[in-house]
Structure 1
């Protein structure tokens, strides 16, 4: 049974500094020559980009519903066979969501290091730490790290506020050299953050002399049998748009396409690259087309080859921002309207308000595929949905799924390993 030191980085809420601390810790141990594997809890594309830069390895998602317990077990066991340290970054607060970060930590026996922002807080820090440690007796708390600490005296007060049986893991002071910028969908993409490597290295150095830097105890992860997948996409060439405008891509999704036998290549609409020659099918992922709308509209080589691909009846799978790119136009929050590809009938409009957020799943003749939705835009169209996804908790109707010829378009981001047969069908252009 593979065993590996492992730690779950969580906190009482979002905004505590979990990503900053996880990235710094990964970089610290990587600098010591250790093989570090980092996972992110829940549906997320932005944090994993930063964590990948810190660890030097792809960052997979863990979620008991979207990925499934067996999928999580397989990913963790595979990592434990190769890694010297496993780090799992939580989502929101430790107990938020169903299933929560706490559920995941308990399921796999991983101790929790709680990151608590101590900004504008003194002895109440101890009460927050006490609540995190006592709320569920089945959660193993490794200790707490204070973030945004104003002075050594402040740190002393925080440490003294802790119950004797809750371990003090150290503290971080606020610094512009550590902070990661944010925008409407969360953190900025890794490639857009100025001096990202320097920020991560500075955090690693700040953590080096804390108790959090010590290797945690090994956790045993039960080995899982290899997943036998039929070659449903054997010989197929799938092209994926990938750049700053189209970057919301789960590594597990790409790995699945390859495991099903497909050859995967990438191209950049932002760089005006054409669809790769000979591509049988095309994936347009989510991202930030609204930030690059004018440039995308002027890149005729990409536009013409995508239109030609669609006109030839070849399959296209488009999610969220990729779907907006296929519409006739996209209007930004300032009211500026930019023409898009016009492959699908309809118009997208950006908003300053959240349009939808949450776990969803879509049913088909091949069964259910899990996923999630998260967008600050809406669309108007006369297209009739082929079906609707359903919300995880309420089973109410969720995002519409549109089918136009061999094109499948939806706001929902699918986690394709949850249904390999449906994934293959979509890229073969089959109906649901």
Structure 2
């Protein structure tokens, strides 16, 4: 339905949040998407904050690529445009929050307020009773008012337990229902988060089980409509990569790719050729290479054993081919990668030094990248990794934390190679990306 006063479309929409990570919000968001998709509705799902893993599960549940909404990294204008575009096609829009509802600056609550999204708070309630109501009250009333809140109790033991939780809710917070404990429907995790959708052959069975449970609860009905104003038409990007083919690594070791990044390459005029550093013996015919992040540490032995691919990367670099390597992609270009068992593996050797996996998280957070010669504003992105590097190579620059201006990740330049731990969001500065990949100056 169209709202003539605001020039937008009203679509049922909901932001799914929680008091903390690990409460089940990804599982619930995916199950809601699955529920409404199998009922014949067109569902568009977004993920708040930087993330690659949750979107893969949400995309599998909805059947549509999942884009990120982050008021700093993607920016408000980008988020508004993507929501408006989704509203033209969708019967339901779901936005999964990040961490706890009020965690971070900006937070998921800020996203809800900015776009008028009512909130579903998923609370892991297995070990609480009346405190459930206190926690819900705090989530609803901390900071500026939210557009509305209902609460879903997760991990509930019995009907009596569910009744106690429901009775604890203060006025103004709606009961969305209770989910019982169900280990067979939960989604497995590892050090960087949940497993990706393509690593879970029984994913749809799990989601259908959860969707069945949600269908019988108050949350199973459509949420109230939200008006998403039409966004101004975007100016087309210069075709700075016209006629160029960008080879992008994609396999079990390289899987962290924002759909918006690939869309940006297409908008710049590029062709894309996918390849697998695990399986392929040569690069495809290309003009530049992008090695995104992933799990090279889990496949280091196979990467080391693929000598033809390592040689192909070395030849491309020696020939002056532009290369961009992010996080896991960068890790495979050092001399050696030491896995979590302490075993060293020979890598491509385009960067001197060693990457070592460790048990503790090494870095997390937003990062802004400025490099000499790149046009426009700093590139925006984020970092999240468990490894550390030791290299005699001096960084060409350091990323900067937008939170406090502190120095962030090292940015390495070696010939036409640019490498760092930062996962870049290409739409934040498309022409800078084009320059890194050998595009024409504009």
TM-score by length of 1: 0.97
| Superposed CA offset, 1:259-308 (max 9, x none) | 0100012111122352112x000000011000000011112332222222
In the alignment, does 2:38 pair up with 1:28? no
**Which of 163, 182, 190 pairs up with 2:189?**
182
User: Relative to 1, partners in 2 of residues 1:387 and 1:428: Cα closer, same or farther, differing over 3 Å?
Assistant: same
How many Å separate the matches in 1 of 2:179 and 2:159?
10
How many Å separate the matches in 2 of 1:147 and 1:178?
12
**Which of 403, 422, 427 pairs up with 2:432?**
422
In the alignment, does 2:65 pair up with 1:55? no
Contact 2:380–2:428 (Cα < 8 Å) also in 1: yes
How many Å separate the matches in 2 of 1:421 and 1:15?
38
In the alignment, does 2:101 pair up with 1:94? yes
Matches within 5 A, 1:162-181: 162-181=169-188
How many Å separate the matches in 1 of 2:316 and 2:339?
27
How many Å separate the matches in 1 of 2:365 and 2:60?
27
Contact 1:319–1:413 (Cα < 8 Å) also in 2: yes
**Which of 114, 117, 140 pairs up with 1:107?**
114
Which range moves more in the overlay, 103-112 or 307-316? Answer: 307-316
Matches within 5 A, 1:107-146: 107-146=114-153
Deviation at 1:53, TM superposition (A): 0.6
**Which of 263, 267, 270 pairs up with 1:262?**
270
Aligned counterpart, 1:271: 279
**Which of 357, 362, 373 pairs up with 2:369?**
362
**Which of 374, 392, 395 pairs up with 2:405?**
395
Contact 1:145–1:169 (Cα < 8 Å) also in 2: yes
Aligned counterpart, 1:383: 393
Which range moves more in the overlay, 221-230 or 410-419? Answer: 221-230
Contact 1:272–1:300 (Cα < 8 Å) also in 2: no
SS of equivalent residue, structure 2 residue 351: coil
How many Å separate the matches in 2 of 1:164 and 1:358?
36
How many Å separate the matches in 1 of 2:37 and 2:112?
23
Which range moves more in the overlay, 65-74 or 157-166? Answer: 157-166
| Superposed CA offset, 1:345-366 (max 9, x none) | 1111000011111111012442
Deviation at 1:430, TM superposition (A): 9.3
Deviation at 1:3, TM superposition (A): 2.1
In the comparison of the two structures, how many residue pairs are matched?
Answer: 430
SS of equivalent residue, structure 1 residue 346: strand
Deviation at 1:136, TM superposition (A): 3.2
Note the residue ranges of structure 1 that are not aligned, 5 or more in a row. none
| Superposed CA offset, 1:299-342 (max 9, x none) | 23322222221121101100001001011110012210011111
SS of equivalent residue, structure 2 residue 58: helix
| Superposed CA offset, 1:66-92 (max 9, x none) | 000101101100110111100000001
Contact 2:241–2:440 (Cα < 8 Å) also in 1: no
In the alignment, does 2:415 pair up with 1:405? yes
**Which of 228, 242, 245 pairs up with 1:221?**
228
TM-score by length of 2: 0.95
Aligned counterpart, 1:304: 311
SS of equivalent residue, structure 2 residue 325: strand
RMSD over aligned Cα atoms: 1.4
**Which of 377, 382, 388 pairs up with 1:372?**
382
How many Å separate the matches in 2 of 1:262 and 1:226?
22
Contact 1:327–1:348 (Cα < 8 Å) also in 2: yes
SS of equivalent residue, structure 1 residue 345: strand
Contact 2:45–2:66 (Cα < 8 Å) also in 1: yes
Matches within 5 A, 1:191-230: 191-228=198-235, 229-230=237-238
How many Å separate the matches in 2 of 1:304 and 1:266?
18
Contact 1:315–1:429 (Cα < 8 Å) also in 2: no
Deviation at 1:410, TM superposition (A): 0.4
Which range moves more in the overlay, 303-312 or 289-298? Answer: 303-312
How many Å separate the matches in 2 of 1:159 and 1:124?
11
**Which of 254, 257, 267 pairs up with 1:246?**
254
How many Å separate the matches in 2 of 1:429 and 1:288?
29
In the alignment, does 2:301 pair up with 1:294? yes
Note the residue ranges of structure 2 that are not aligned, 5 or more in a row. 1-7
Matches within 5 A, 1:142-161: 142-161=149-168
Matches within 5 A, 1:68-79: 68-79=75-86
Aligned counterpart, 2:25: 18
In the alignment, does 2:330 pair up with 1:323? yes
